[in-house]
Amino acid sequence: MSGQSTPSSPFIAHPHEVPGDRDLQKRLATLEYQYSQLKDSYEIDKVKSQAIVKRLERDLEHRSREYEAAVSDSKLLFDENNKLKRELRELADNFEQTTGENRSLRTELDAKTCKLNRHLGEFQEIEKRLEDVIALKDAELRHKDSELLRLRDSMREELALKSSRIDELADQLRIKDSQILEMRERNVHIDETKARELYEKECSNQLEYIRELEKKNLELSNKLRTLQSKQDYVQVLREEKATLSQRLATYEALETEYEDLKLRYAAMEQKLGDWPLSDPPAIILNKCSVLESTNSQLSQKNEFLRNELARTQQEVVDLQSKLLESNDRQTALKSKLSEKDTENTKLSNNVKLLTQEIQFLKDRIDNVTEENTMLMKNKGVEAENAQKFEGLVALLESYKQQLQSLQSQDTGQKRRRSELEQPNGAAQLAEELKRKIDENNELVRTIEEKNKRLVQLEVEVKKLGSSGNERGVRVLELRENPAARHERVTRKMLEKLRQENQQLVDAKLATDQLIPKTVYERVCLEQDQLQEEIKSINKRMTRLREMFSSKVARFNEIVFLLLGYKIELLSETKLKMYPKFNRDSFIQVDLSRHGSKKGHLLDGDGIRVKLPAEAGFQKVDVNNLIRFWVQEKQQPCCFFNALNLELYDKGQELLPS
């Protein structure tokens, strides 16, 4: 009908229709309308049925999933039931094992108590023996103390006498030194050959003196050997100290065993806390009453053992104090021996210094002779002055010979005067004494005249030397040269050492028990220096301790903030760690437990964890964490981090929402 226009009426469209067709068409239209309505309703019902089918399919899938979940849950429940049954059997076995271990621990504790009682008896016997030995030693030391006091009084008296004698000798020595200096100033320009002879004589005298010192040194060494032979009782004290140290070592071993037993007991208490309540309350109450009674008995035994332990510790402290007293006495004796050794070494050092002084004097003589030969080679003085100088030297030699002859005559007369012994010699001795005094006065006057003449000649010699130097010969000398400085220092040191050596020789000749004043002052000075060093060292130690304690506290704070654990050292191999998120729990680590395999840092028994039984913290599976991270992976740090995270989660769960 496309392309044609629709008629305006049915008659025009169908001009030849019969009148009954219109009804049929109406009926057909109604039927078509009903058909379309039915078709629409069918479509609607079909859509509804499809939606219902889809909903039913979804319900079916959901029910099937629920069924599968229920089946899997039933399987899990069955597996958990079997697992719980196995754990129940294991707990029963563990309970039997722990009861057996408790019995063994009781037997071990009984054995330990018996052993401690035996050790107590042994310690009492040792204490009695030590008391007897200490009483004997005290008696000996009191006797020796009285002897030493008497010796000290006698030494003080002799020291006073010696000091007065030393003062007198020092005055005489100063007089002699002044005389020697005067003689040296007068005899400056004597012939070098005579000076060499004098030095050689002095060296021979020094060698004889050194030999005498060596003999005295040998005598002192023999006396030191006798003193060392008298120290036999020190060996007895050392043996007693060794036995006591062995006893203390056994005591410390027993203490370590006791600590291990306490740790095992704590671990068993933790295991008992982790067990479920499988038995009825009546049986559990009966078991608790039995355990409480046994615990009270064990606590009483523990208290008794602790009292015994404290008493034995007090006895050990008393024994240690007695040992310290004996050690102090031993150190005092050793200090006396060391003082004797220092005196001996000082004598040997004096001998060495004297030999060095002799060698230095020899070198000095050689240098003087070389300088004189150089001066003789470079001399440009006129022959007239040289003749005058030689004449003056000859006059000096003659005056020196005259002085020596006068001194020899004086000494010979003194010797003859001492040898004269007559029964009626009082008047003769007086006359002889008067005559000799007059002769001595005359000799003194002649010596003074000769000395004046020597002074005049020395002035003339100095003038000649100055004129010779002005005419062409100049001798340069550095007053502050190293040789002169060394000579001054060595001269002062040698004078001090000679004085000390003389005092030592006088003291050793007088008695072997005296100590010279200079040695005592030097030792006191050294002791004061050592005490000052000890004070400074103690101050440094206190400062270092304070600094170390502050640094350790700061380090523990940093570790606690960064890693979440507060660390407390129990011993060299044991430490206790307190987690940040539960202050009531702690972890005890034993670094000495390395495990059976090579390279393992810890084993399962090296870590013990104590968690509180309330607030749900007992649900943290510590054993599983230890088994996985410590035993399998060998990563204890991961175990500590995992445990800290578990404690943090449990703490967050307990917080109010």
pLDDT surpasses 60 at 558:
yes
Length in residues, the chain: 657
pLDDT surpasses 50 at 7:
no
pLDDT surpasses 60 at 540:
yes
Q: The sheet that has 586-590: what strands, in order across it?
A: 565-569, 574-579, 586-590, 607-610
Residue 48's pLDDT band, with cuts at 50, 70 and 90, is confident
Higher per-residue pLDDT: 240 or 408: 240
Bridge partners of 575?
A: 569, 589
Residue 263's pLDDT band, with cuts at 50, 70 and 90, is confident
| Residue 647 near residue 581, CB atoms below 8 Å | yes
pLDDT surpasses 80 at 341:
no
Range among 196-210, 415-429, 537-551 with highest mean pLDDT value: 537-551
pLDDT surpasses 60 at 406:
no
pLDDT surpasses 70 at 391:
no
| pLDDT tens for each residue of 439-455 | 666 766 766 676 676 66
Q: According to the model, what pLDDT value does residue 615 have?
A: 53
**CA atoms of 117 and 308, how far apart (whole Å):** 9
Higher per-residue pLDDT: 625 or 184: 625
Burial class (CB in 10 A: 0-12, 13-18, 19+), 606: buried
pLDDT surpasses 50 at 1:
no
Q: According to the model, what pLDDT value does residue 596 have?
A: 46
Q: According to the model, what pLDDT value does residue 276 have?
A: 57
Higher per-residue pLDDT: 479 or 322: 322
Mean pLDDT of 375-388: 55
Residue 476's pLDDT band, with cuts at 50, 70 and 90, is very low
DSSP symbols for 587-610: EEEETT---SSTT-S--GGGEEEE
Bridge partners of 569?
A: 575
DSSP symbols for 273-333: HHS---S-HHHHHHHHHHHHHHHHHHHHHHHHHHHHHHHHHHHHHHHHHHHHHHHHHHHHH
Least trusted range by pLDDT, from 7-16, 189-198, 422-431, 487-496: 7-16
Q: According to the model, what pLDDT value does residue 2 have?
A: 41
Residue 203's pLDDT band, with cuts at 50, 70 and 90, is low
Mean pLDDT of 522-536: 80
| Residue 631 near residue 602, CB atoms below 8 Å | no
The tokens for 533 are 């060093």
Q: According to the model, what pLDDT value does residue 98 have?
A: 79
Residues near 495 by beta carbon (within 8 Å), at least 6 away in sequence: none
The rounded percent of the chain whose pLDDT value lies above 90 is 0
Higher per-residue pLDDT: 355 or 148: 148
> SS3 letters for 122-188?
HHHHHHHHHHHHHHHHHHHHHHHHHHHHHHHHHHHHHHHHHHHHHHHHHHHHHHHHHHHHHHHHHCC
Mean pLDDT of 179-205: 65
pLDDT surpasses 50 at 4:
no
pLDDT surpasses 50 at 472:
no
Mean pLDDT of 80-106: 80
| Residue 567 near residue 587, CB atoms below 8 Å | no
Burial 352-389 (b: 16+ CB within 10 A, else e): ebbeebbebeeeebeeeeeeeeeeeeeeebeeebeeeb
The tokens for 389 are 């100088």
Mean pLDDT of 568-580: 82
Mean pLDDT of 288-300: 77
Residue 344's pLDDT band, with cuts at 50, 70 and 90, is low
Phi/psi for 588 (5° steps) reads -110, 125
Least trusted range by pLDDT, from 109-123, 460-474, 572-586, 601-615: 460-474
Least trusted range by pLDDT, from 78-87, 88-97, 316-325: 316-325
Mean pLDDT of 476-492: 60
pLDDT surpasses 80 at 207:
no
Q: According to the model, what pLDDT value does residue 457 have?
A: 64
Mean pLDDT of 427-441: 62
Report the SS3 class of residue 80: helix
Mean pLDDT of 280-307: 74
Q: What pTM does this model have? A: 0.24
Range among 69-78, 325-334, 536-545 with highest mean pLDDT value: 536-545
Kindly give the pairing relationship between strand 586-590 and strand 574-579. Answer: antiparallel
Mean pLDDT of 382-402: 59
Burial class (CB in 10 A: 0-12, 13-18, 19+), 329: middle
pLDDT surpasses 60 at 11:
no
Mean pLDDT of 451-474: 58
**CA atoms of 190 and 389, how far apart (whole Å):** 11
